[in-house]
Amino acid sequence: MIKTEFTSYIRSLQNEICTAFEEIDGKSVFREDYWERDGGGGGLTRLIEKGPVFEKGGVNTSTVFGELPDPIRQHFNVKEGWFWAGGISLVVHPVNPMVPTVHANFRYFELYEDAEMKKIKDGWFGGGADLTPYYLWDEDAHHFHTVLKNACDRHGKELYPAYKKQCDDYFRNRHRDEARGIGGLFFDYLRADDQRSLQDWQAFTQDTGSLFLDAYLPIVKKRMDEPYNPTQKQWQEIRRGRYVEFNLIHDRGTLFGLKTNGRIESILMSLPPTVRWDYDVQPESGSREANLIDVLKNPRDWVE
């Protein structure tokens, strides 16, 4: 069964990612928090914080099931139904403003006609990964996107440009007319069709997730010892405010969790620990800060 295989995959990936982050940080370790969902299922939240490299980071897995909550019934326009959903979600906020924040999520959803959850009505995969730098190196953006493109290309040359554009369109603070970061991949509702089976989409999703560390860790290792000053740390916290704005105003996953009585601590673990909202901040023309804003307002193609 796909959901059994995917459950094993996300739990293994969670272990791999957490081990790698602990090794790089060198001091802090993840605390574990098992939780159960009223109605069926639960998950494992893992949080690392106050380390020399990672100021705060969460790597969560969950497998939940049961009767569809009212908001999902309304979304799918059904009077009744049952579901199973499994996924891994992570957000990491580094200490050094020269190291970018990163987010990734890989998930699978099944919809059933019966309470015994034996008659599958629908099923699909979703996910992606995106990078949010505070100080931009083009070579880092190129590396991140190249790794993700290579993962996509093994399953179809048309996938990267399509899902890169979806990422640029989705992770955007429309009220400020700027992107949250420099993008990556975003895909959803990957269903079986004439070209690909659900198992094909499973392979694609898992390949993308398995290359997450290859995309992100080389950037961390390269930038974690870069010097920075208090002004640059302040800029990081101002930009973190934009990250918070997106998650609380626009992000579908966050809003869905809040509307369906999800586990609040796990939902909001994506928020950074220190944030600023200074009034009307305008970077100096020609500065690295101004260059970042220009890129966020005008998404680039990072891979030829």
The residues assigned a catalytic role are 103
Cα distances (Å, whole numbers) of residue 250 to 32, 43, 45, 139, 241: 28, 24, 23, 29, 14
Torsion sign, CA atoms 142, 214, 147, 174: negative
Beta strand spans in 37-169 (E): 41-49, 54-67, 82-94, 101-112, 120-132
State the first-to-last Cα distance of the chain, in angstroms, to the nearest integer: 38
Query: Three-state SS for 298?
Result: coil
Helices vs strands, H then E, count in the chain = 10, 9
